[in-house]
Amino acid sequence: MKKYGFGVDIGGTTCKIGLFETTGQIIDKWEIPTNTADGGKNILPDVAASLKAKMAEEGINKEEIEGIGVGIPGPVRSDGSVAVCVNLGWQNVHVPKELEVMMEGIMVRAGNDANVAALGEMWQGGGKGYENVVMVTLGTGVGGGIIVGEKIVAGSNGAGGEIGHITVNPYETVSCNCGRKGCLEQYASCLLYTSPSPRDTERSR
């Protein structure tokens, strides 16, 4: 019988990892740095190494692992692949396929971090008992997860809840990491920008 699962939240600064019983009971949680150098090519290998180290520490073999869930800070396609993730430097990364190989066949599923966080809250957290949930995540970036009728509203390209890239200042001159200008994430996240506030920019017009 499968007893355990891993949850991995890959952020622009740290990867937060949890070991759970399949009932949802947390056993342990820890963090590792997110290495975004060289297009983020070391992120998944670092995650795999950390998961294997925890399995060895706890005496857990792969047959006891139900699966690994991964949250990504950006749009994720229905198959778990990522076209672009600006906060990680990723381009065309198939997270489940690559991590499953590294983890010797343990099942991997991936989704947008805010979407899967919203699912977690609906399952065991503040949204328990509700069919409709909206969640806002704040960290290196700004994200959002929307659940209607117990189903994620992902949109056509996986960006349905990406509220961090709503334009809040059309007069911004500094680019967001996504390449656009004036995104909410430029003003409400932990990223540092040297641009003026929307109000200051409006006054200068």
Residues 36-85 pLDDT 10s: 999 999 999 999 999 999 999 999 999 999 999 999 988 899 899 999 99
Strands 4-10 and 65-72: parallel
Calculate the CA 92 to chain-centre distance. 16
User: What distance in Å separates the CA atoms of residue 201 and residue 198, rounded to the nearest whole number?
Assistant: 5
Interval 85-93 mean pLDDT: 93
What CA–CA distance (Å, rounded) separates 198 from 81? 35
Say whether pLDDT at 203 is over 60.
no
In angstroms, the Cα distances linking 76 to 28, 68, 110, 196 are 27, 16, 8, 32
Q: Which residue has the higher pLDDT, 95 or 156?
A: 95
Amino acid, single-letter form, for residue 154: A
Identity of residue 151: K
